[in-house]
A and B are shown apart, each in its own frame.
Chain A
Amino acid sequence: MNDLHGIGVASGRVSGPVAAMPPPIGEPAEDGQLEEGPDRDRAVALLESSSSAVGAELSARAVAAREAGRDDAAEVLEATAMMALDATLLGEAKTRIGQGSRPERAVWEAAGQVAEQLSSLGGYMAERVRDVQDVRDRLVAELTGRPAPGIPVREDPFVLVARDLAPADTATLDPSKVAALVTEQGGPTSHTAILARALGLPAVVAVAGATDLVDGTWVLVDGAQGTVVIDPTEEQRGTAAAAQAPTSLAVAGGTSDGHRVGLYANVGDPSGIEEAVAAGAEGVGLFRTEFCFLDRAEAPSVDEQVAAYERVFAAFGGHRVVVRTLDAGADKPLPFVTSDDEPNPALGVRGLRTAQRSPQVLQDQLTAIARAAAGSDAEVWVMAPMVATAEEASAFAEQAHGAGLPTAGVMVEVPSAALTADLVLAACDFASIGTNDLAQYTMAADRQLGVLATLNDPWQPALLRLIAMTAEAGTRTGRAVGVCGEAAADPLLACVLVGLGVTSLSMTPRALPAVGAALAELTLACCAELAEAAVSSESPAAARESVASILNRSP
């Protein structure tokens, strides 16, 4: 069998046996009417015992999650356990069995009816449809004696191979058991890719033929090259092991000729700090604050926020911490700032735009950041997400300065902000490029859609040109321009970004050693040459190839 190729989205080389996600549970056939009498009674009994078994399994997992301190996951599991035992669902299913349906078909239709009702309510209820479908699939699997959907359970670490991973799957993914991820669908900024980088797992997505891999087959996954080598030699396995070596940034970030580049960590909540410190991050380039706000009906108090921010600032005393203000909307709705009836949430009221509707939420957050900053010796910067115009940048900077935060900048995620970067940077103190959103808005391609993965590839020349424009404006105005999107975590692309004039890179902590090592091997002039080649390539593949050939030419 030939080796497989896809898009490498999280670097690292690792080998292990394949364990495939069980195939999705398909719709059970309508045929096979049950006769009145004992057949139907047995079907009802089987439905009841299956419901108890699935409910008990989900409850046990909820308890385990609770004990592991993963309260959010526990809550989701508790609710799904209740759904598996739910009287409405079982009642509907029993009615159908009473009309002669097989139990798996009855459950499928009953769950479908509930899901339809939830969908018609829209908003948050519609988002629960997935939970209902998950419960439905578990019940159908139990009723038909098939493996439960979800991540396989194995004694030893394995390479997880799937068509795609859903957030519900990844919530239960154990990084000590999963050595690498290979998916047939998904793109460079899909949920799977971001998760892989957050967990530091090598991952290759959009791999045609991945789901044909047989369980137990030994594979070597190279997340930098985007390859899956089938039955690797002993020698290849050896290099895979060796490639896992450094776990912390060896030297201060910069090129071989001494051009300094800040290498920072992205931190999603205070519990991520330890990893960032352990990886040797020079600071935090993107401190996401949504953790403070999610799963709540009302905004947290100023005091509550101060306490959360202080933990992060304390860990990075003397270093820079760039705090991003609340980025709600689109895939992160929050009842107190976002609306649930937008036809197109990615283009709706999200990020800084929510501050127009709920100005107090932003004001309170800036107050809390300023107060936490005052009590620490971290160099605290603050930036707003989803800024489209210089006017917005100016208003935000003014508000932040007024709150006592001297350095206020903006995320460049909307193409208009990159196109007017000179004006935007004149209106505030710095910019940080969020390559995931900038890619999807530039290419008009939903980043969650696997079929559009190539359009969302961070090596797209159009994306690189917008980054170049922003970085040039930064050089002209003397403002810092960082990249905090996942593009910064790709060691080769990181060198290209530095060549484009980016002054700092912020990424998942696990990527820091590899990016730092790659950068330290090249001169700034070489990075500029790579950048020039990448922006003038006609496709992401051509860009990678031309960059690789330049590097191969000059060792």
Chain B
Amino acid sequence: MFRQILRSQWLALRLPVALLAVLGFALPLLTVTYGGALENAPSATVAQWLFASQKIGILIPGLALLVGLLLGIGTWAPDHAGKHVYALSLPVPRPMYVLLRFAAGATLVAVPVLALGIGSTVAVLAVKLPSGIHAYPAQLTLRFAMACLVCFAIFFAISISTRRAALAVLGLLGGVLLADLVLAALSISGGASVTESVIYLLTNWPGPLAILMGRWALFDV
């Protein structure tokens, strides 16, 4: 059954998957468009190149977010279009069906991840690095895979959630903002912000979005 679901999902999502794969392959290669023979290059050139590498690195978690968004929502698109009749007609319990959908979506996520891995390897092979600068193709690819998985799971869950769950999430976000407004109005915040604290908790280890933060440069010190 997994193969059938994967096949149907591939047919529905092949265009975004191909597009994401091209982006994943191209991003690491952008770094080497600034030059490759750096072994004896002046420090200023190496510095500019390193800064460019770090700037391009910032785009990679953005790509992970895009992968999660397109594939996470796209996974349920055929079910939403068919009013879930196909799913209900299958002789499998709902949790199993969700698991199969998730597994099929995660398999498709592997395509842009693999493309980024290949792109990184090609980029690393194309440059001669000066001493003190290192390449991190394996770490970058693995981190990208984890970031894609988290983003995919988030959008996968949002896409199939009930209206009540969506309202609860929106209510929680609204409550956080309201708490800040109330604290500010009563002048009892003392410089603290609930929104800032929540963002801090979400984006710092072990927060769910911590994987998207940190450094993402393929080449670094």
A-B interaction: no
Q: Which residues of A contact B (CB under 8 A)?
A: none
Q: Which residues of B contact A (CB under 8 A)?
A: none
